[in-house]
Amino acid sequence: FEQDIDIDLKTPDDVVTEADHAAERFLKEKLLTLFPGSGFHGEESGQDLGSNGYTWVVDPLDGTHNYSEGIPLWGCSVGLLDSEMKPVLGVLDFPTVKKTQWAEVGGGAFLDGKPIHVSTAPLIPTSVIGVQSKIRLKKFPGHVEYASRYHSARSLGSIAYHGYLVSTGRMRGSADLKVKLHDIVAVTVIVQEAGGWVSDLDGRPIFPLQREFPYYVDAPVPFFAGDPVTGPDLLKALFPDGTPDGTFGE
């Protein structure tokens, strides 16, 4: 980190580094040894279906662009889906800021060993929401109304980091039109176990997954994370007519 890093382009706006590949190889070996028979879905290596119904879903370096530019907002995201395609375990680790979060269904969410909770305080003009791109915010049908009420939209370049901020009450919501499954499995468990609310952009649950697992290798997933008190109103303000350009899961 903070050195000259060779990058490759997966798409014109999506970079990958050797650190992504090395971290995923390491995690795959360790996780499949820890839980034999489980499957593995990684951002860089795709899917290996297991035999016990459980699947690890991993983004080895969420925020690769930040990492490649020496910006310290990036981390590792490890989630586990059960046989019903529901997230049951999540871990987020941010080495540069020395923060680690984890949660399991029914067990609460923790940051460095201390319980964490979303905020349910009323929204105010300085309330912060996260979007993956300021440009994408302009595609949200309600962005003009939102901008007139709440001025603090932030794009930090990492869904995992947005999830960290939502689950600890620092950010009131995080919305994106197009994330990938590996971005959100761990985040979902942590936000929900911190008392939060996760949905697609129509307010419907994302999990359990509604399609066969291979569909999600490349499929975009509309995503919102917030709190159950103010989240639905915030989502409706951003998307008064639901998800633009069709709905997720059809």
Same domain for 145 and 108, yes or no, is no
pLDDT(246) > 60: no
Find tokens 């490890």 and name the residue.
78
pLDDT(113) > 90: yes
Same domain for 15 and 105, yes or no, is yes
Of the two residues 219 and 135, the one the predictor is more confident about is: 219
Same domain for 225 and 155, yes or no, is yes
- Asked whether residue 243 is assigned to any structural domain, the reply reads no
Average of per-residue pLDDT across 209-224: 85
DSSP state of 217: G
Same domain for 138 and 232, yes or no, is yes
Same domain for 56 and 158, yes or no, is no
pTM value is 0.88
Same domain for 206 and 184, yes or no, is yes
pLDDT band (50, 70, 90) for residue 18 = confident
Q: What backbone torsions phi and psi does residue 182 show, to the nearest 5 degrees? A: -65, -20
- Asked whether residue 12 is assigned to any structural domain, the reply reads yes
Over the stretch 74-84, which tens digit does the pLDDT of each residue have?
A: 999 999 999 99
pLDDT(248) > 70: no
Same domain for 108 and 16, yes or no, is yes
Of the two residues 20 and 248, the one the predictor is more confident about is: 20
pLDDT band (50, 70, 90) for residue 213 = confident
Question: What average pLDDT does the chain have?
Answer: 84
Over the stretch 34-64, which tens digit does the pLDDT of each residue have?
A: 999 999 998 777 787 888 999 999 999 998 8
Say how many C-beta atoms besides its own lie within 10 A of residue 66's C-beta. 19
Count of residues making up the chain: 250
Residue ending a domain, among 83, 115, 147, is: 115
pLDDT(202) > 80: yes
Partners of 101 in the beta sheet? 92, 111
Angle between helices 159-167 and 181-193 (to 10 degrees): 10
Same domain for 94 and 133, yes or no, is no
pLDDT on residue 140 = 62
Of the two residues 161 and 217, the one the predictor is more confident about is: 161
pLDDT on residue 149 = 62
Q: What is the CATH number for 160?
A: 3.40.190.80
The helix (run of H) or strand (run of E) holding residue 28 is helix 18-34
pLDDT on residue 232 = 87
- Residue among 200, 216, 244, 197 at smallest CA distance from 81: 216
- Asked whether residue 123 is assigned to any structural domain, the reply reads no
Q: What is the CATH number for 32?
A: 3.30.540.10
pLDDT on residue 235 = 82
Of the two residues 117 and 3, the one the predictor is more confident about is: 117
Find tokens 């309600």 and name the residue.
142
Same domain for 111 and 132, yes or no, is no
Of the two residues 69 and 57, the one the predictor is more confident about is: 57
Same domain for 111 and 158, yes or no, is no
Residue ending a domain, among 115, 140, 156, is: 115
Partners of 111 in the beta sheet? 101, 114
- Residue type present at position 64: T
Partners of 14 in the beta sheet? 11
Same domain for 89 and 132, yes or no, is no
pLDDT(192) > 90: yes
- Asked whether residue 41 is assigned to any structural domain, the reply reads yes
Min mean pLDDT across 102-106, 115-119, 199-203 is at 199-203
- Asked whether residue 181 is assigned to any structural domain, the reply reads yes
Q: Taken in order 28, 112, 132, 8, is the CA torsion positive or negative?
A: negative
- Asked whether residue 149 is assigned to any structural domain, the reply reads yes
Domain of residue 103 covers 7-115
Same domain for 136 and 234, yes or no, is yes
Domain count, the chain: 2
- Asked whether residue 246 is assigned to any structural domain, the reply reads no
pLDDT(170) > 50: yes
- Asked whether residue 75 is assigned to any structural domain, the reply reads yes
Residue ending a domain, among 115, 150, 166, is: 115
pLDDT on residue 116 = 98
